Amino acid sequence: MAGENLTGIKEFILLGFSDVPNLQGLLFGIFIIIYVSILTGNGLIIVVTKCDPALQTPMYFFLGNFSFLEICYTSVTLPRMLADLWTQRRIISLSMCAVQLGFFLIIGCTECFLLAVMAYDRYVAICRPLYYPLIMNYKMCVQLVIGSWTSAILLEAGLTYEIFSLPFCGSNKLNHIFCDAPPLVKLTCGDNPFNEFPVYVNALLFGMFPFLLILVSYIKIITTILKLPSATGRSKAFSTCSSHLIVVGLFFGSAIITYLLPKSKESGRTDKVLSLFYTTLTPLFNPLIYSLRNKDVIVAMKKLLPEWLDSSCK
């Protein structure tokens, strides 16, 4: 029976926001504005951190890479969601669902690792300032980014394969806005808690472990900052870390609730809302958080924007 059901299910129906049919047009308009804002805002951060000589430091190198990740992360889910809202078709093949889940997990895991790397960068800068140029040299920064990508690809490709190796039974209706691991596992045959075990282990090891590294880093950072004799020095040190902490809180908070807390049968709508936090709102707020709370980025934008406007008018 399981084998018969597995070969029978060739596609899934993404229910998405089908429970609010009167709001489809409004949701399409809202999400397309959000998507364009994410592309523009994060694209601007990438350009500014690459073009301004004053921002050629490890902190802004990682910020530029993080903004690139945010664009990739959103582009895995939002264009498909916009197409579903526009066409009302909502059908995704088994293979395309696997591809979407694979890219989503890989980019999400890379973000977790990169956020941990950014916390380590702030730890070295504040707690080991004399060794900072030696430790966080350009070669090390590149290796940390490549290591984050490579580790995520190896780990999450395996989880994607494992999920789609399970037989799917009964309904092919996926009560979510994109192909994500928890709602997919709910449609598998056999002992559902046992099937969910790899997803929980993956989230615990490769989500919570970077989060704990960030937590330890910031405990040491705050301890060091409080020992600084100058109030100006303490204020400057806190300002360089606060933006990162806000992004960490938004991203990990919603992801932990989605992947690690126990689920009920009625939790589908809550899961959709929470998934929008880490797939849409964090990439949307990222440029605002880092630009509005960072004087260096504001200065760089004020300097570069007039140059672009002058060149476009000529």
Mean pLDDT of 113-130: 91
Average pLDDT over residues 71-76: 93
CATH 1.20.1070.10 given to domain 2-308: yes
Dihedral sign of CA atoms 198, 200, 201, 207 in order: positive
What is the pLDDT confidence band of residue 15, given thresholds at 50, 70 and 90? confident
DSSP state letter for 54: G
Phi, psi of 187 (to 5 degrees): -90, 0
Angle, vertex CA 154, rays to CA 122 and CA 161, nearest 5: 135
Which has the closest alpha carbon to 213: 258, 254, 257, 252?
252
Amino acid code (one letter) for 82: L
| H or E stretch at 298 | helix 295-313
- β-partners of residue 14 are 174
What mean pLDDT do residues 78-99 have?
89
Q: Which residue has the higher pLDDT, 256 or 86?
A: 86
pLDDT at 281 over 50: yes
Reported pTM: 0.86
Q: How confident is the model at residue 267 (pLDDT cuts 50, 70, 90)?
A: low
Contact criterion met (CB below 8 Å) for 101 and 177: no
Supply the Cα-derived Rg of the chain in whole angstroms: 21
Q: Rounded to an integer, what distance in angstroms lies between the CA atom of residue 68 and that of residue 66?
A: 5
Across the chain, mean pLDDT equals 82
Residue 8 pLDDT > 60, yes or no? no
Of the candidates 152, 276, 149, 263, the one whose C-alpha atom is nearest the C-alpha of residue 205 is: 152
Q: Average of pLDDT values for 80-102?
A: 90
Report which residue type is found at 258: T
Residue with tokens 């960030």: 214
What confidence score (pLDDT) does residue 126 get? 87
**pLDDT of 2:** 40
Domain assignments of the chain as residue spans, ordered by start: 2-308
Higher-confidence position of 198 and 116: 116
Q: How much of the chain is in helix, strand and coil states, percent to nearest 5?
A: 80, 5, 15
Q: pLDDT by residue (tens digit) across 220-262?
A: 888 888 887 777 667 766 776 777 788 888 788 777 777 766 5
- pLDDT tens, residue by residue, 32-46: 999 999 999 999 899
Q: How confident is the model at residue 117 (pLDDT cuts 50, 70, 90)?
A: very high
Reported as a pLDDT band with limits 50, 70 and 90, residue 307 is: low
CA distance 211 to 249: 10
In this prediction, residues 143-163 reach a mean pLDDT of 92
Question: pLDDT tens, 282-305?
Answer: 888 888 877 766 777 778 777 776
